[in-house]
Amino acid sequence: MLELSNFKLWLTEHKAYSHKTIGNIASRVKRADGILPWFNDAVYQFHLEQSEEYQMLSAAVRSQIKKAVKLYFEFVNDQGAKQDNKRESAMNVLSLFANIGVAEAYLKEIGFNVVVANELIERRAILYSKIYPDTYMICGDITDKKIFDKVVRESIDRGVNIIMATPPCQGMSTVGQKVVDDERNRLVCQVIEAIKEIKPKYSFIENVPMFFNTKIKVGNEKILIPELLENELGNDYIINKYLVDTKDYSVPQSRERAIVLMTRKDQRKEWVIPEKDAKVKTMRDAIGNLPKLDPFITDVDEEELLKIFPHFYERRERALQISKWHTPPHHIKRQVVVMQHTPTGKSAFDNPKYYPVKANGEAVKGFRNTYKRQNWDAPAYTVTMDNRKISSQDNVHPGRFEYTDENGDDIYSDARTLTLYELMIIMSIPPNWPVPENTSEAFLRRIIGEGIPPLFVKKVFEKLL
């Protein structure tokens, strides 16, 4: 079976080709496979070139196919070498639904080797491989038997004995639609089957709190997910279930999660959740040291921008010296103005004079957790995928009193959403996390909103050391 998705990942990592060129190379390998089904032997190239269908092609096309097949052999041999050099230890991890690897950001530094990962979406898988080049990424749908079997086979071959699974939660999330019988809810079944096949010593499953109260259809009946776990794995594993808030583990963000920790019954050490930390970290602890930063107003000219924010450019320059990701968010004027008049911890809906309005002047209707500033002396609210908008929930910087204007109204700084850099801090992502600098900010923002704070994951995994 050709592994074209993983081949493209490998080309992205090892060759200086454009995205279009990589696509063309993969297409030529696929064409070769159509002429002569692929087999991993040096004589493949010889037999391919002797085939009548190949010889009927133009010289240019034959040359392109030949080059592509050689690259594919190089890819296959490289993967074999990585497997031969795998580290045998009690700390080899399979990451399922890996996304770009936010959850595992600290694992390598504490001695855990994520040796295999699986992600459905190619763009995410490519970025994962750039951040974690030592991990064997398998890009594809785990509900596809060929992909599932490959994940299992590679995990066994590479000595995996810990499974970490963070299946998509949109089907049961309170901010999602909670569609009955959402197929994404059933992805836990693939996790269960992987545990049965690989038989790891330990398993970690993370999801939203509704995970424990969600029923899925198995056969002809509906069953609660915790009951399904017990029925399918309870004979071989001790299954510990927890509802946690990551703010209790030094993460400056309140994020409630359902956590399942499984321990194979032949293990001497049982995996349990760590004790809560003594101190809760607040927004002030996390980002209180950062200087003021004004938003960029998209619907005014530069003269008006500088009239509203005289220090815009100097504050932007200072922010960029801190981090490439600490850039002024872009907003429209009417939203910026209402937030300038909104104090820390308050919603603009509480201000009758500077109430949020639409472009036509009509009052905005919304919940009191939108157009709302966060609190300095509490952890951040849960970061969502839609974290770029003032009009979405709990996204606005806490701000500080700046001055009283000519109308006698108090003006507050940082009338904007949090920067990507501030979100990374709140998510407890390590400052040296090697995400490529050319990564799309909008893409990263959405991914961060889906992730689990890696500092919490680190503390849970440290219980196995």
Positions marked catalytic: 169
Q: How far is CA 189 from the centre of its chain?
A: 21
Distance CA(322)–CA(174), nearest Å, equals 35
Phi/psi zone of residue 78: left (φ > 0), alpha (ψ -120 to 50 degrees), beta? Answer: alpha
Name 163's bridge partners.
94, 203
CA atoms 126, 459, 207, 283: torsion sign:
negative
Token digits for 103?
A: 């959850």
State the burial class of residue 284 (Cβ atoms within 10 Å of its Cβ: 0-12, 13-18, 19+). middle
Pairing of strands 330-331, 256-264: unpaired
Q: How far is CA 346 from CA 47, 162, 363, in A?
A: 72, 44, 18
DSSP one-letter code for 418: P
CA distances 168 to 140, 175, 267, Å, are 15, 13, 29
> Is there a contact between 57 and 68 (Cβ–Cβ < 8 Å)?
no
User: Which two structure tokens, joined as six digits, stand for 197?
Assistant: 């096949």
Q: Which residues contact 118 (CB under 8 A, 6 or more apart)?
A: 94, 95, 96, 97, 98, 137, 138, 139, 140, 142, 147, 151
SS3 for 370? strand
CA 3/CA 8 separation, integer angstroms? 9
> Chain centroid to CA 448: how far?
5
